């Protein structure tokens, strides 16, 4: 976005609300980051048979491309949909997004939607998001609630249609923000699950920011949210299923690969 226009405080008035929801992309009106290894060569066929390990009867379903063991360990066992948003660099605002799914914990993860181009916070990523840092919080967060200015496109998550999701103004690069919150999915960073994305309850305190959403892309970086093109937002809303306990895994590639 060119020189950013700081949005006014959320919910001060309808227009102020809408402008904050952009800051909502950040922080509640405060100024707003194979297995490899095969047996080595053997001297003859018999030694190959002796040296080769028996097949592991336990599948390895936890592998998701780009996610390392530390990150995978944070994915809840009950999650059967994982929306992976991978930033190019720690300080980059450009990302890629892929939704993975599996019907059963014994199955391997499979790509369901994407890859899609995405944007994240103007200043990249952080593992300690605070209000106004213009970075997206890294981590693994449940996805339980959705909403938007437009009517429900067939979302499986609870959907709050409300005019307060309207927004106007310009982004960091001068791009129009109108329509950015036509569809949103709340990321459960510093929020209470089971309520509208518009709810301002912040369990970690206002200083830790909030209003971090997946929303419609406006062709530029966000204040801390993740954004994808509108047609993909509609696909995502029609696919994320609360019965599958969906989560988002988000961060820069190096962090997620740990």
Q: Domains in the chain, ordered, with CATH? A: 14-32+68-256 (2.40.440.10)
Cα dihedral across residues 157, 189, 64, 134: positive or negative? positive
| Catalytic annotation, pick one of 119, 215, 218, 232 | 215
Q: What is the pLDDT of residue 237?
A: 98
Q: What is the pLDDT of residue 24?
A: 54
Kindly state the DSSP code that residue 21 receives in the 8-state scheme. Answer: H
- Please provide the size of the chain in residues: 258
Q: Is the pLDDT of residue 61 over 70?
A: no
| Catalytic annotation, pick one of 25, 93, 218, 225 | 225
pLDDT-based confidence at 9, cuts 50/70/90?
very low
CA gap 16, 29 in Å, rounded: 9
Q: What average pLDDT does range 143-168 have in this prediction?
A: 98
pLDDT digits (tens, 9 = 90+) for 180-192: 999 999 999 999 9
For this structure, is 162 an active site residue? no
Q: What average pLDDT does range 220-238 have in this prediction?
A: 98
**Which position has the higher pLDDT, 61 or 189?**
189
Q: Is the pLDDT of residue 90 over 80?
A: yes
Q: In the block, which residue shows the tokens 């980059």?
A: 92
- By the 10 Å C-beta count (0-12 exposed, 13-18 middle, 19+ buried), 244 is classed as middle
Q: How far is CA 168 from CA 23, 134, 147, 165, in A?
A: 12, 19, 17, 10
Q: How far is CA 180 from CA 8, 90, 184, 211, in A?
A: 16, 24, 8, 13
Q: What is the pLDDT of residue 36?
A: 33
CA gap 253, 45 in Å, rounded: 42
Q: What is the pLDDT of residue 106?
A: 84
Q: What is the pLDDT of residue 46?
A: 35
Q: Is the pLDDT of residue 97 over 60?
A: yes
Cα dihedral: 28, 90, 229, 221 (round 10): 50
Q: How far is CA 240 from CA 28, 186, 233, in A?
A: 25, 12, 10
pLDDT digits (tens, 9 = 90+) for 12-55: 333 333 344 444 564 454 333 333 333 333 333 333 333 334 43
Cα dihedral across residues 62, 64, 69, 70: positive or negative? negative
For this structure, is 232 an active site residue? no
Q: What is the pLDDT of residue 30?
A: 39
Q: Is the pLDDT of residue 247 over 70?
A: yes
Q: What average pLDDT does range 117-143 have in this prediction?
A: 98
pTM score of the predicted model: 0.79
Of the candidates 60, 38, 58, the one whose C-alpha atom is nearest the C-alpha of residue 48 is 38
């Amino acid at each position: 976005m060119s020189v950013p226009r700081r949005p006014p405080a959320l919910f001060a008035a309808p227009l102020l609300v809408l402008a904050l929801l952009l800051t909502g992309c950040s922080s509640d009106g405060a100024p707003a980051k194979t297995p490899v290894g095969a047996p080595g060569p053997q001297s003859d066929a018999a030694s190959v048979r002796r040296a080769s390990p028996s097949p592991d009867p336990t599948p390895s379903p936890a592998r998701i491309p780009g996610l390392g063991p530390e990150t995978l360990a944070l994915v809840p066992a009950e999650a059967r949909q994982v929306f992976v948003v991978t930033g190019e660099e720690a300080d980059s605002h450009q990302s890629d997004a892929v939704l993975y799914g599996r019907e059963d914990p014994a199955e391997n993860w499979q790509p369901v939607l994407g890859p899609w181009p995405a944007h994240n916070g103007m200043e990249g990523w952080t593992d300690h998001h605070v209000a106004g840092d213009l970075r997206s919080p890294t981590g693994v967060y449940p996805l339980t609630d959705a909403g938007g200015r437009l009517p429900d496109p067939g979302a499986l998550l609870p959907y709050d249609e409300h005019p307060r999701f309207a927004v106007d103004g310009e982004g960091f690069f001068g791009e129009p923000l109108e329509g950015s919150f036509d569809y949103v999915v709340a990321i459960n960073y510093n929020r209470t699950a089971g309520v509208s994305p518009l709810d301002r309850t912040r369990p970690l305190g206002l200083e830790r920011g909030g209003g971090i959403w997946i929303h419609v892309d406006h062709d530029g970086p966000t204040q801390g949210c993740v954004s994808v093109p509108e047609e993909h937002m509609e696909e995502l809303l029609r696919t994320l299923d609360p019965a599958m306990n969906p989560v988002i895994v988000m961060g820069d590639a190096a962090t997620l690969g740990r």
